Structure 1
Amino acid sequence: MKNSYTCLVVGAGPSGTAAAYTFAKNGIDVCIVDKAIFPREKLCGGGLTGRTKNSFLDIFDSNWEDMFEYSANSALFYYKGQRINMIEDYGELYFCNRIKFDNRLLDLAISRGVDVVFGERVEVIDTESKVCKLASGRQIRYRYLIGADGVNSVVARQVVSRKFNRNRYAYALQVEIKKEDYGKTELTRPELYFGDINKGYGWVFPKRNSYTVGMCSQYSKTVDIRKKLMEFFAARNCAPYKGRLTGHYIPFGNYAERVVENDVILVGDAAGLVDPVTGEGVAYAIESGYYAAEAVIAAISGKNCNIDTEYKSKYYTAISQEFARANLLQQAIYSRYTQAIVMHALSRSKTMPYHYMDLLSGDSNYKDFISIIQNKAKKLIFKGR
């Protein structure tokens, strides 16, 4: 294996594999470095949206049906334990095992000729000499580097001084339980819960042979999310959970504005790209990885451009501009002063859940969605309800 590449990708999740696949597809030599050995465990509810599907089909030459294990065409919405609305016949809800999903993406990248280095942790990135130094002592030279190494990104810390501050993140806990061990009747559609935890939400997602039950909220030393999840699970299952809990930090509206420096680009969770309202992260990971690769390819091709301008133009129009609007809505949904109004508007509207799903699928944007919520809320307030 070589020790010098045109493009080096740190992190083999969806953003890293999307970037590497795009490089290799365009004949550019590329290597992925990841501290894990794949297949590796990945904590995630496993929900995939229509936007994820569209992003996948736009980038990878593969069959979407191979990427998920369960699909549903309806969903239920709850507020403080009471069902307030539902959608039916939507047809764009998919659920995967993230271990298999991520490994499948990596296999696709490898099949395109991407080199991989597994089980190697990045120690230092020397942007002056353009050398990535691994814990083993190995050094890999690069011309361009993509930082796709997650929320606690080594690349972000060393290159753009984006330090990990848990107070700016959400913390999620979840359990995976076999269907036969779940006390309720069989669930065939996802359930989304609001109001059970401050500044957060809960979920129950069906899979082929199991359910994922989880909860997340903005990190706080005063919130015992483990206790909250146990209460949430017991209320759903009518029995306590006695197994293993898994937890992880996720971005919660703290997306990066500084994403390009010294021929290094941040993508996916390393750039904080998880929707602060819907929790969508996989689609934005894939898209940002692709945009980063396209920016580098444009620069390599000899066009009169640089990766900073190329990447930021897509990053702003397709991602960060939407996230800025999403942060405004996040305050309304999770604030104790306005959450009840938003949830009441959701409960009284037949179309609101579908607008929400259109947002998830990428068929609408936050500008339109916020306008719809504002109009619904105004009608309720003026009617005195």
Structure 2
Amino acid sequence: MSDFDIIVIGAGPAGSAAATWAAKHGARVALVDKAAFPRNKLCGGLFTERSRNYYREIFGQNFDLSKSVTRHDIAFWHAGAELAVLRDIPPLHLTMRLDLDNTLFRHAIDAGAVDFSGHPIAQISDNAVTFKDGNTLSAPILIGTDGVNSIVAKHLFGAAFYTETIGFGLEIEVPKATQNPTKNQLRIDFGALTWGYGWSFPKQQCTTVGVGGMRAPNPDIKAQMRHYIDTLGLDPDAIKFKGHHLPFGDFRKTPGRANIVLAGDAAGLVDPITGEGIAFAMKSGQIAAQAALDALAAGAPETTLTRHKIGLRDMHKNLRIARTLRRIIFAPRWQETFTETFRRSETVRAMYMRLLAGDLEYPQLARAVVARLPRYVVNAFRR
């Protein structure tokens, strides 16, 4: 039995941020993950300027871009046709999660968190975790940052996610040598899935290609992925792809119970329009850690969830607005109207780009959408 102040379960961006923040402020932190680092994870790897700002705030240093690809242009497509190419945009940084997650994990260990990576968990109680090798860690507070299939969420709620509202994605890594460099755009394809999109993100050694969207209205995502790969000029039969669930805009309104809280994908904190989750993961990990620190200082670990919910108010507000706006962007009945508006309107494209880059918050976007909504509805009915 080993005693800590906080056990962080899951060492991705949310967990490493939580462990770093708590350890830097004097807490005894155990950082647990079933995988040994470095380890890979399916993800587009988009690292925005918002992510860089959070990174600097949490880890106390600038993000090293030497292993990333930075782009100032992006192409948007729909139904095999190019809608627009935006240039001179705020920088978008494309990272490999193998490198990114390992960097964040090392920051947490350097800050003083104790490394329990490579230790799969057999059982969780309200103040302890027991590994499959029989060893146990205990702490008054647990922070679950173990992704969409969170075992902490299963312990709390009986299931890691809501099956009727979860998203799903398929992804491949295409070797750089197999692609035509003149066609290797950073691109997003609206409608590659129903209630979703496709993406092609160039990296230093490969290109990450995938599709993601709501699971329920896409019964054959593999066929849609093959079609998307084919539209990019790749051989869909020569590439094996992997899939994973996406907490695509269905966040947990109550992310925990008393002394156990969730952050990152485990709490459903993924942007339902852009699909970006790294920035929210790091920030929510920091918020969870601060809630834990404050609860410990007050001698009341059972108040951690209440404090965490207060810290997440702005993030939850943004996600609620985004979930509403998603109906305008991704709903099949509005798709043609939205894409035509996107093609014609420089203002709409600029707002979407600022949103993707982390330079625009959803309340600002909502006000702009409301102002344009009457014209948008008229155009939709005309179509």
Same-fold status (TM-score > 0.5): yes
The 1:96–1:380 alpha-carbon spacing in structure 2 relative to 1, beyond 3 Å, is same
| Partner Cα separation in structure 1 for residue 169 and residue 114 of structure 2 | 33
Compare 140-149 and 361-370 and name the one that shifted more: 361-370
- Residue 369 of structure 1: which of 345, 365, 369 is its match? 365
Q: Are 2:194 and 2:217, in contact at CA under 8 Å, matched by a contact in 1?
A: no
| Superposed displacement of residue 352, structure 1 | 1.8
| Partner Cα separation in structure 1 for residue 133 and residue 190 of structure 2 | 46
Compare 5-14 and 233-242 and name the one that shifted more: 233-242
The 1:157–1:117 alpha-carbon spacing in structure 2 relative to 1, beyond 3 Å, is same
| Partner Cα separation in structure 2 for residue 345 and residue 159 of structure 1 | 44
Partner amino acid for 1:256?
A: R
Question: Counterpart of 2:18?
Answer: 19
The 1:22–1:7 alpha-carbon spacing in structure 2 relative to 1, beyond 3 Å, is same
| Superposed displacement of residue 303, structure 1 | 8.8
Partner amino acid for 2:306?
A: T
Pairing 1:58–2:57 present: yes
Compare 178-187 and 203-212 and name the one that shifted more: 178-187
Deviations 1:20-70 (A, max 9, x none): 000111111101111111111200011111211111111112331247510
Matches of residues 265-284 of structure 1 in structure 2 within 5 Å? Answer: 265-284=261-280
Q: Are 1:184 and 1:237, in contact at CA under 8 Å, matched by a contact in 2?
A: no
The 1:320–1:233 alpha-carbon spacing in structure 2 relative to 1, beyond 3 Å, is same
- Residue 215 of structure 1: which of 206, 211, 216 is its match? 211
Q: Are 2:74 and 2:85, in contact at CA under 8 Å, matched by a contact in 1?
A: yes
| Superposed displacement of residue 272, structure 1 | 0.7
Any unmatched runs of 5+ in structure 2?
none
The 1:380–1:313 alpha-carbon spacing in structure 2 relative to 1, beyond 3 Å, is closer
Question: Counterpart of 1:233?
Answer: 229
Partner amino acid for 2:34?
A: K
Question: Counterpart of 1:315?
Answer: 312
Q: Are 2:260 and 2:305, in contact at CA under 8 Å, matched by a contact in 1?
A: no
Question: Counterpart of 2:192?
Answer: 196
The 1:259–1:382 alpha-carbon spacing in structure 2 relative to 1, beyond 3 Å, is closer
User: Per the alignment, in what secondary structure is the counterpart of residue 76 of structure 1?
Assistant: strand
Q: Are 1:342 and 1:377, in contact at CA under 8 Å, matched by a contact in 2?
A: no
Partner amino acid for 2:264?
A: G
Compare 173-182 and 101-110 and name the one that shifted more: 173-182
Any unmatched runs of 5+ in structure 1?
none
User: Per the alignment, in what secondary structure is the counterpart of residue 138 of structure 2?
Assistant: strand
| Partner Cα separation in structure 2 for residue 292 and residue 4 of structure 1 | 20
User: Per the alignment, in what secondary structure is the counterpart of residue 344 of structure 1?
Assistant: helix
| Partner Cα separation in structure 2 for residue 83 and residue 376 of structure 1 | 24
Compare 37-46 and 77-86 and name the one that shifted more: 77-86
Q: Are 2:258 and 2:304, in contact at CA under 8 Å, matched by a contact in 1?
A: no
Partner amino acid for 2:204?
A: R
Deviations 1:311-368 (A, max 9, x none): 1112122x11111111111122221111222222211111222212322343322222
Partner amino acid for 1:55?
A: Y
User: Per the alignment, in what secondary structure is the counterpart of residue 275 of structure 1?
Assistant: coil
Partner amino acid for 2:208?
A: T
Deviant stretches of 4+, over 6 Å:
none
The 1:67–1:145 alpha-carbon spacing in structure 2 relative to 1, beyond 3 Å, is farther
Compare 370-379 and 194-203 and name the one that shifted more: 370-379
| Partner Cα separation in structure 2 for residue 172 and residue 22 of structure 1 | 31
Compare 88-97 and 66-75 and name the one that shifted more: 66-75
Identity of aligned residues (%): 31
The 1:61–1:168 alpha-carbon spacing in structure 2 relative to 1, beyond 3 Å, is same
Question: Counterpart of 2:5?
Answer: 6
Question: Counterpart of 1:142?
Answer: 139
- Residue 239 of structure 2: which of 240, 243, 247 is its match? 243
Q: Are 1:77 and 1:86, in contact at CA under 8 Å, matched by a contact in 2?
A: yes
Pairwise CA RMSD:
2.2
User: Per the alignment, in what secondary structure is the counterpart of residue 88 of structure 1?
Assistant: strand
| Partner Cα separation in structure 1 for residue 321 and residue 119 of structure 2 | 38
- Residue 131 of structure 1: which of 118, 128, 131 is its match? 128
Task: Kindly tell me the number of residue pairs found equivalent between the two proteins.
Answer: 380
Pairing 1:205–2:204 present: no
Query: Normalising to structure 2: TM-score of the pair?
Result: 0.93
| Partner Cα separation in structure 1 for residue 164 and residue 125 of structure 2 | 29
Deviations 1:188-246 (A, max 9, x none): x4101012321110011111122111111211386211111111111111644502211
Question: Counterpart of 1:330?
Answer: 326
| Partner Cα separation in structure 2 for residue 163 and residue 216 of structure 1 | 19
